[in-house]
Amino acid sequence: MGRVALVTGGSRGIGAAISVALKEAGYTVAANYAGNDEAAQAFTAETGIATYKWSVADYDACAAGVAKVQADLGPVDILVNNAGITRDAMFHKMTPQQWREVIDTNLNGLFNMTHPLWSGMRDRKFGRVINISSINGQKGQAGQANYSASKAGDLGMTKALAQEGARAGITVNAICPGYIGTEMVKAIDEKVLNERILPLIPVGRLGEPEEVARIVVFLASEGSGFITGSTISANGGQFFV
């Protein structure tokens, strides 16, 4: 049995592709999810990957969830903070609730999940924390002040924690996907997709979840120990930092 990897939001979309790619690479994988039991059950039936339900926005639930996964599968050496939500609105119409929900999941979720695992990684002198941020955390996006702030916060946390973990053999990196063809993006009106979104992407297509998953497998590997505090963009050439 390989090292144990925990993927938040790991039963759907990009997270599901990450869970599967890590399993195929030899890891024992636990996929966390928030509430879509039907999707989680179908995912487990199809892949054999165990799923665990809790919200990354709730610190106590994360601590209990991490304890349960480690009791079932062993120490978690690879954490992929992938769970994320949008609550889009132009700022003048954005409610405090829309702001808070996104920050609680996309930014506080990284603290809530990484903190309960950090001491164990330090003790074992090995860890891989991989944060799924977004192109919109790099460049900002109108209608997504909450989301852009949360994803930019993820990048700051990545760089600070990379410095703290370095001597303990823990790497902390971020991936910033552009438009990836998940259900959420494929649900966009075809005309909008073809006329307004695809022309922004030099490679002329959406990314595939597997293209993000392959970067995760690379960063998770033993051989990637000198890469830490980095942000890898996967956006088809849409934006350079």
Q: Is 147 a catalytic residue?
A: yes
Q: With binding defined as CB under 6 A, does residue 49 bind ligand NDP?
A: no
Q: With binding defined as CB under 6 A, does residue 32 bind ligand NDP?
A: yes
Out of 4, 15, 79, 170, point to the residue binding ligand NDP (CB under 6 A).
15
| Binding range to ligand NDP, per CB under 6 A, among 28-36, 72-80, 192-200, 219-227 | 28-36
Distance from C-alpha of 56 to C-alpha of 114, rounded to nearest angstrom: 10
User: Exposed, middle or buried, 82 (CB in 10 Å: 0-12/13-18/19+)?
Assistant: buried
Nearer to ligand NDP by Cβ, of 28 and 106: the residue is: 106
Residues 107-146: x where in contact with ligand NDP by CB under 6 A, - otherwise, as a string:
-------------------------x-x------------
Q: With binding defined as CB under 6 A, does residue 153 bind ligand NDP?
A: no
Number of Cβ within a 10 Å radius of residue 34: 17
Q: Are 133 and 155 in contact (CB under 8 A)?
A: yes
Q: Are 176 and 137 in contact (CB under 8 A)?
A: yes
Catalytic residue among 27, 33, 52, 147: 147
- Quote the least distance from Cβ 159 to ligand NDP, whole Å: 18
State the helix-helix crossing angle for 209-220 and 13-24, rounded to 10 degrees: 50
- Quote the least distance from Cβ 215 to ligand NDP, whole Å: 12
**Hey, what are 34's tokens?**
């928030």
Residue 130 forms beta bridges with which residues?
Answer: 80, 173
Distance from C-alpha of 94 to C-alpha of 147, rounded to nearest angstrom: 12
| Amino acid present at 58 | D
Nearer to ligand NDP by Cβ, of 126 and 130: the residue is: 130
- Which residues contact ligand NDP (rule: CB under 6 A)? 8-9, 11-15, 32-36, 39, 55-57, 82-85, 105, 132, 134, 177, 179-180, 182-185
Residues labelled as active-site residues: 147
